[in-house]
Amino acid sequence: MRLTNFCDYSLRVLIFLGLKKTKSSIAEISSAYGISKNHLVKVVHTLSKLGYIHSSQGKGGGITLALKPEDINMGEIIEKIEPDFNLVECFSEARNACCISLACRLKGYFLQANRAFLDSLRKYSLADILKSKERLSPLIIDEKKNQTINMQSP
């Protein structure tokens, strides 16, 4: 299984906002992670629509978390952000052309693994990720200047 870049960037935006705790901008987040501003505009829009962040434009505008970090559940957000969890062709009724899918047990095993993956992530919140603030923050936020510093994305 592989999460989309969109999901990865969504989680990074939430981490950044959780660390910064003040209004931020797409430009700051883009600079900190080395991610395209165009990608982040879409991410911020989606996170705002889902109610995870507040986003306002103009003078005094910016982006902040809309919820407390402990109220942002990792499993739930990934489930909402990821377009689908169709690990194999037979997961999709519309695209399933596998001739053995009616008798194959593999689909059931994959479904069970998929549930376990999400159940495991549901045990954690953004607050759990932010517990390593001392190690995370210097990588993307210069606390003394309260500015972001550049970090290349993996």
Is the distance from CB of 66 to CB of 53 less than 8 angstroms?
yes
Is the distance from CB of 64 to CB of 16 less than 8 angstroms?
no
Question: Is beta strand 141-142 parallel, antiparallel or unpaired with respect to 53-56?
Answer: unpaired
Is the distance from CB of 30 to CB of 40 less than 8 angstroms?
yes
Q: Whole-prediction pTM value? A: 0.83
For a pLDDT cut of 90, what percent of the chain falls above it? 58
Look-up of token digits 């954690």: 124
| Residue 150 DSSP one-character state | -
Bridge partners of 63, per DSSP, are 24, 55
Nearest residue to 61 via CA among 28, 39, 36, 12: 28
- In three-state secondary structure terms, 30 is helix
Q: What is the pLDDT of residues 89-132, one digit of tens each?
A: 888 788 888 888 888 888 889 889 989 999 999 999 999 999 98
Domains of the chain in sequence order: 1-70+130-154 (1.10.10.10), 73-124 (no CATH)
